[in-house]
Amino acid sequence: MNGGLGVGPGVLIFVAILAFWIVSSIKILNEYERAVVFRLGYLHDKAKGPGPILVVFPIDRMVRVSLRTVVHDVPPQDVITRDNVSVKVNAVVYYRVMDPKKAVVDVEQFHYATSQLAQTTLRAVLGQVELDDLLSKRERLNAELQQILDRHTDPWGVKVSAVEVKHVDLPAEMQRAIAKQAEAEREKRAKIIHAEGEFQASAQLAKAAEVISANPTTLQLRYLQTLTEIATEKNSTIIFPVPIDILDALKKKIA
């Protein structure tokens, strides 16, 4: 007889299987992860994590859910604006899971559902605005898109924090039309500024004429000052302007 207790190979195999089962049932969750556990098909009371949790196989089934913010790039969408301009618009959506239980139970594949909702909402909202508003009022449109998406994803336990319209792709014909419009707008502003300058200059000349007419000697002094300015240029020929009134007087005498 042996002095010790004999352990058969069957017991060793059982112990090894039991140890492997226990080790494989322990799951480690990171700080940014939560686990939604189903036990015999029934949802556990609350999401578990972070840290180690015990998932008894095959009784339990675990679904990992990340709580980090997801940056989703919405594919380019064909949009017809309110003034019948066809453009391609893409955007980026920032969202995160606030309630892991709702994200798993209340919707199938919440990432895909949020992406599809973002695409349809982008087409619907931007199709109600004109091209000028789409190009110049990005902040208002981004806020409207964020509110609509957040309202629809709230029952899924998903929070949409921001939506940004990244790029608006215009047809080549529309780009040329916008360039012509901008050029015409600049020319109009230049003409208006020039006209305002002429108006102000004429007003100042009118005031100067009133001052000069009050004292005829002023006109003579201004005439001499003009000759002085011409002489400083070292011109060989100096032209003396003669008032038209003098020529009219000479014509009357000759007649």
Task: Examine residue 130 and state whether it is found in any structural domain, yes or no.
Answer: yes
CATH number of the domain bearing residue 128: 3.30.479.30
> What pLDDT score does 188 carry?
86
Query: Are residues 83 and 121 located together in one domain of the fold?
Result: yes
Tell whether 3 is covered by a domain: no
Assigned domain for 204 exists? yes
**DSSP string spanning 63-120?**
EEEE-SPEEEEEEEEEEE-TTS-EEEEEEEEEEEES-HHHHHHTSSSHHHHHHHHHHH
- 187 shares its domain with 164: no
* One domain for residues 124 and 53: no
Task: Clarify whether residues 186 and 164 are in a common domain.
Answer: no
71-93: pLDDT as tens digits: 999 999 998 888 888 889 999 99
Could you list the mean pLDDT of each consecutive 10-residue stretch along the chain, which spans 255 residues?
Answer: 58 73 78 88 82 81 91 91 88 94 91 94 92 88 94 94 90 72 81 89 83 74 73 65 64 64
**Residue 105: inside a domain, yes or no?**
yes
- Is the domain of 189 the same as that of 219? no
Q: Look-up: residue for tokens 């594919």?
A: 75
In a domain, residue 242? The reply is yes
Q: Does residue 144 sit within a domain? A: yes
pLDDT number for residue 156: 94
Answer yes or no: do 144 and 197 share one domain: no
Residues 202, 163 share a domain:
no
- Torsion, Cα 196 202 205 210, to 10 degrees, reads -120
Per-residue confidence (pLDDT) for residue 68, from 0 to 100? 93
Residue range(s) defining the domain that contains residue 61: 12-66
Domain count, the chain: 4
Same domain, 90 and 115: yes
Say yes or no: 154 and 202 in one domain. no
Whether the CA torsion 190, 195, 199, 202 is positive or negative: it is: positive
Which pLDDT value is given to residue 73? 93
